[in-house]
Amino acid sequence: MKKQHYVKDNKFIIKYNDKEYVIPKPFTNCYFGAEPTKEITVHNRFSDETFTQSAKLPSFAVAIYDTIIGAEATEDYDTMQQGLDWFSRNFTKEYMTLLD
């Protein structure tokens, strides 16, 4: 199996769908699972019970999403904002569905 992540110039990089994603600190400490590019469906937490608002994301993006939600709950607004900025730049459509 081809390696999906690597470190170059002190940056943690994950390859997904022919694109390279630079993972900034503190998100490099997230657990991305055994398969960081495995796709998972995430539902908007404020959506109704039909889950009409959802997005398919790779595991590494789900880990960052979860960290954003956790940072919000613990009032770590610096980490939350850093995650929101990364998410909006790298997964714009999904950001609009899940976090905007």
Q: What is the mean pLDDT of residues 77-89?
A: 98
pLDDT given at position 1: 46
CB 40 within 8 A of CB 50: no
Tokens of 48: 């109704």
DSSP structure string for 4-46 = -EEEETTEEEEEETTEEEEE-TTGGGS---SSTT-EEEEE-TT
**H/E element, 86:** helix 77-90
pLDDT given at position 59: 96
Residues 20-70: pLDDT tens digits? Answer: 999 999 999 999 999 999 999 999 988 867 768 999 999 999 999 999 999
pLDDT given at position 57: 98
Parse the chain into domains and list their residue ranges: 5-98
